[in-house]
Structures are given as C-alpha cells and as structure tokens.
Structure 1
C-alpha cells in the first residue's frame, strides 16, 4: 500500500505519531528533526499552504539552526539519511537511488562513503540522486570530500534533504 500525504491544512492538527509518520516519509525518520519541525515550523501554519511552502520553511529553519544547534543534533539529523548505495535504505531511498547501478558501483560507493565519513566525522553524504547518474553523483561526492569544508557540507546536506523532501512530496500527492 502506498502512503499518501494528508492535505497540508491537517498537518498542525495531527497527533505526534501521525506527524512523525508524515515527516518520516518526507525526510527520513529522525526524532531530532521531528522535534525541531514540530516546535519551529508546524505551529506557524499561516506561513504555509502547500507542502512545497512547508518544506521551504523547514529548509530555512535548518539553515538557521546551523548557528544554534549543537553538532550532535546536526549530525543526528544529517545521519538519519541512509548511506548512498546502502542496501538497507528506506523504500523511498531505494527508489531514488535506482540510477546508481549494481554491486560494483555499490562497492565504489561504500569506499567513498568511508572516505567521506572520515573527512566529515558524524555526517553522511546526502545528495538529491533521483535521475542523476552514478558518475555524476560520485564526482560530486569526490569534490565535496576534497573541499573538506564541514560548514558548507552541513548546509549542502540540509539543502539536499529538503530537495529530496520536495520530490517525495510531489510523488506522495502533496504538491
């Protein structure tokens, strides 16, 4: 059975469990992210009338939170996303990563993931994959590793999470 987003006007009146389910489909399940969104975005229902507007408010909040959240909270939010090419990804991530190829490519991605996580301890590489070739994604990953800019990396990860959420919202009937 496919999940369908409820109309956005119901979001602020959902139970905590229903909000958690909704956010888990848009982003990835993450208690830290759920708490941030539940306290700083959902209560401001007058600022969003579509899931696109809602996700853009989440993006703004995430970028602003880079100044206020501690590293553990930031890392928890970013690390809620599965490793690229990981076989234990969510249904959404599995579908989004279809273009990344077979077992040989997964081995290359595994090594790049390890190098990425050594370069950026506590983080995971997050990128909007859907429709992009493995070569393009792997080149992006190599460039981001080479930059070694952890502050930029956190922002790029938050932006990618929201780009992914926008695409998921469209696919789940919410945009």
Structure 2
C-alpha cells in the first residue's frame, strides 16, 4: 500500500517521488505532473487539503489563460483524458478509480446506457472525458448529471468542472490514504 509523503517535506522529494504522489492523488499523467511539479509542488504545505487547493487554484488559472488563447488546448485535454471513463470500459483503471466506481455497478442494460452516454459526451466535447466526483452516488444520479452537462454543451465549463472534480477526487483520495497510516 502506498504511503503519502508528508506535505511538510515536499521540497525534499525527488521528481520520481513527486510524480508518484501526484499519480496517486490524481491519475497518472505526465503533463499534469510536469505542470504541478513546476508550479505548485515547489514548497511545503501544512496539509494535503492545502496542497490540493493550491493545485486547484493553479489549474483553474492555467485553464483561464489557455482558454483565452482561443486555440486547441492539447495539454488540458491530455490532463482531463487521464481520468478513465465511468463504468465498464477497456480503460485500465487505477486501484483508486476501481474502488471509487463500485457504486456504478449495474445491469448489462445500464452499462450499455452509460457507455452510450460516455460516447455522446466525448462526441459533444472532443478530446475530453466526463469527470465527476462519484463519491458513492448512484449510477442514475451520475447519468442524469452527464445528460445535463451534454445538453448544456459548454466546453469551457466542462473543462472547469473536470478540473474541480479532479481536485475533489484528489482530496478524497488523500483522506483515504492518510487514514490508512
């Protein structure tokens, strides 16, 4: 079982240790790791909550700057797409994602509906994956949220919601990893 390093010793960690920590909090993504190591992982923090909130603030500012360029945003798409699709998928799930998605188990028919919604979402928002903090919510609740976000059709808001969800997930993972110490 992975043990999180103390946030009070972040500056002493080497690049591999920082990358591994980020992979456990978020999902493995070298683009995200590079950004956060360069811009957020450069000081010690009082807690993981403080660290992840700094990550959130940085990511939302980064998003705002990138979206103002009105260009294709490959870094943002790579970061968001590091998260696996919800439900049964060909994606290899991290142990964290696998555990978090347990509440989405359902019938074959429900799995097909979720797969169809994933496909529609990715067609509506090219390059993105639907990212949400599942947190034990039911499959129906998640699918309703996905449908409403597809109908809204706002890719800029989707990117923002994905970054916020990624940070909410990271906070939850940190709490779970810390409680196992």
1:72 paired with 2:71, answer no
Alignment partner, residue 98 of structure 1:
102
5+ residue gaps in structure 2?
A: 67-71
What is the 5 A alignment of 1:13-52? 13-45=12-44, 48-52=45-49
Shift of 1:90: 1.1
Structure 1, 78-87 or 161-170: larger mean CA deviation: 78-87
5+ residue gaps in structure 1?
A: none
Tell me how large the CA RMSD over aligned residues is.
Answer: 1.5
What is the 5 A alignment of 1:55-66? 55-66=52-63
The two structures have a TM-score, normalised by structure 2, of 0.90
Partner Cα distance (1:145, 1:109) in 2: 13
The two structures have a TM-score, normalised by structure 1, of 0.93
Partner Cα distance (1:105, 1:161) in 2: 25
Structure 1, 58-67 or 94-103: larger mean CA deviation: 94-103
Structure 1, 80-89 or 24-33: larger mean CA deviation: 80-89
Shift of 1:130: 1.9
For this pair of structures, how many residues does the alignment match?
Answer: 172
Give the SS at the match of 1:68.
helix
